[in-house]
Structure 1
């Protein structure tokens, strides 16, 4: 089956968005690049869930080549990749301490994180789909979301304070010193893995839909149908269960997967049906080396911050652009462009770094 360029483009848009959002120049981010304070959904809040959605799709594509057989080779590959992603996430946080002269931050190193959640979701979903009959996956996905909804509703899960059961669980498992410092709720906490796994399973099932032996147009229609169903259910349920990224609520899963499916359907129509495939190179280079460019951006951001390079660049920008919001956006765009240039060089040399 012909490779869908739209998948690489959406992956690239997502990684580019993650880098853009994480690297504001000044003390205040440009408004659309800010996460919602608590309940609600901003464009910025779509970035990470889109990536997790794509992890699910990629998992289907990669394991399909092995017919979803739980051979020792496949299991070893899954376990190795899972731990490697988690370790890279921990290493990024550790690197920040090293730059401050603390080489052994055993007492304060943050344990949950973005890559840690990605690694866990990839590993859990991958093992599930090679050991469990795929006809049960929708029921498992629904069961996880139902169980997590009950946990949030009965455990004060929508309170942004220390009484939230999610915070209680994380403090009990990891200890407060090893959690996110800017909020009482760790946005990548342990309990939220339940809904994040369901999120990844939705991506996996969309991946199965994308590789059905039917025309691209029919696949697009199915994807749009799934998107509309998820969006309607998600927004209706949000009346009682708010859309909330920090707790990765059930409605957040449904709505963001719905928007992700809709955007993918649009890209498939434009790129794979209408063959409008020029002008996407900037996003394509991010999509071909997604994990490497994200990790590189995090490491460079730490170096820029610790060595005050970031402040120097931002102050230079504000000389020409006094508006701090606009200056912050320009810095973000410049930083992202540097990562894009790195990705372009790798793409030209056909270097694709995978783990």
Structure 2
């Protein structure tokens, strides 16, 4: 039976969001620990290498986690906007809600960075949540302000990406030897702006991976998600819809790979080639989850991911304030001591993930969700 996407919750989004968060809630550590059991296996070592960020240029799986989350946040917005419009909310009310959500995420990012310690002299200002808040907020403003017109929503993407490429690749940082590549930390204008305006408030000494100028192309990541959500909203939940998403993902990934030949894929700079490459990955993953869960209706397997995905902000913040590692050791250290030493890291990581998931499952059953 075919159903309109807007008439029901996109359960695939919750599962995909949970799958994405799985890797930063112990999944990546677990895979690396398993790989350590097979030091002579080139396959396992290659898999383990995907669980850490590349130092600068390049792309591994771990680099896709953040943009996929932002992309998913974008997909949700057209549905949220439609609900508000159907309830008769004024445009002023809608804009204020967008602003409130964006600023709350920025504030939560500051809290994660240690805002409540009141050590403002060294507090890191940019953050993952802050970038999500700002990029999503500006994309939502553009999406809403352009009404039902599709072309300005689409046009803003190449304008930003090409403009950012020209500035990033051809404008040297002031005071730097012109022979230095502008796509290096020392020569890049985005890194220079972070060093100059943020100073000690950067994550790193010479730049911040969630810095000021590099937030601009992140708006495109959110907007691409919103356009995907708009497409789903206007389509029926069919195999054809899923296939269209998949093909679009392949095309986007190929465009990113092509651009990479002269403008490197770089997560730290959120390069335009990175935007297209990870948008391709995001579309492909969403197409698969959408097909399996929303088209075919195969949902019984997704509880683990759904519990995480429906409370993603909470699971991101909770380990910063609750010592789940200590609780894990209190509960299972006796069990771990019975195991051969080489299996300790795997067992301890599994225990940590279990404790964290059970906490999230309790929240899920009590319908306690941290929403912003």
The reply to whether TM is greater than 0.5 is yes
Name the stretch that deviates more: 185-194 or 271-280. 271-280
- Please state how far the C-alpha of 1:272 moved relative to its aligned partner: 2.3
Map residues 152-191 of structure 1 onto 2, 5 A cutoff.
152-155=168-171, 156-159=181-184, 161-175=185-199, 177-181=200-204, 184-191=206-213
- Tell which structure's C-alpha radius of gyration is larger: 2
| Equivalence for 1:268 | 290
Flag the 1:275–1:142 CA change in 2: closer, same or farther, 3 A: same
For structure 2, the 5+ residue unaligned runs are 1-6, 37-47, 172-180
CA distance in 2, matches of 1:269, 1:141: 27
For structure 1, the 5+ residue unaligned runs are none
Flag the 1:194–1:107 CA change in 2: closer, same or farther, 3 A: same
- Tell whether the 8 Å contact from 2:138 to 2:219 is kept in structure 1 after alignment: yes
- Tell whether the 8 Å contact from 1:49 to 1:256 is kept in structure 2 after alignment: yes
1:306-331 CA-to-partner distances (Å, cap 9, x unmatched) read x8998xx99x96984545xx755554
TM-score (norm 2): 0.82
CA distance in 2, matches of 1:152, 1:319: 55
- Tell whether the 8 Å contact from 1:111 to 1:179 is kept in structure 2 after alignment: yes
CA distance in 1, matches of 2:111, 2:298: 40
- Please state how far the C-alpha of 1:44 moved relative to its aligned partner: 1.1
Match of 2:268 among 226, 246, 259: 246
Structure with greater contact order relative to length (CA < 8 Å, sep ≥ 6): 1
- Tell whether the 8 Å contact from 1:162 to 1:185 is kept in structure 2 after alignment: no
Flag the 1:16–1:134 CA change in 2: closer, same or farther, 3 A: same
Flag the 1:149–1:308 CA change in 2: closer, same or farther, 3 A: farther
Flag the 1:318–1:283 CA change in 2: closer, same or farther, 3 A: same
CA distance in 2, matches of 1:297, 1:23: 15
CA distance in 2, matches of 1:330, 1:194: 41
- Tell whether the 8 Å contact from 2:324 to 2:355 is kept in structure 1 after alignment: no
CA distance in 1, matches of 2:288, 2:295: 10
1:104 aligns with 2:115: no
1:201 aligns with 2:226: no
Match of 2:163 among 144, 147, 154: 147
Q: CA RMSD in A?
A: 3.1
- Tell whether the 8 Å contact from 2:324 to 2:356 is kept in structure 1 after alignment: no
- Tell whether the 8 Å contact from 1:242 to 1:251 is kept in structure 2 after alignment: yes
- Tell whether the 8 Å contact from 2:195 to 2:207 is kept in structure 1 after alignment: no
TM-score (norm 1): 0.85
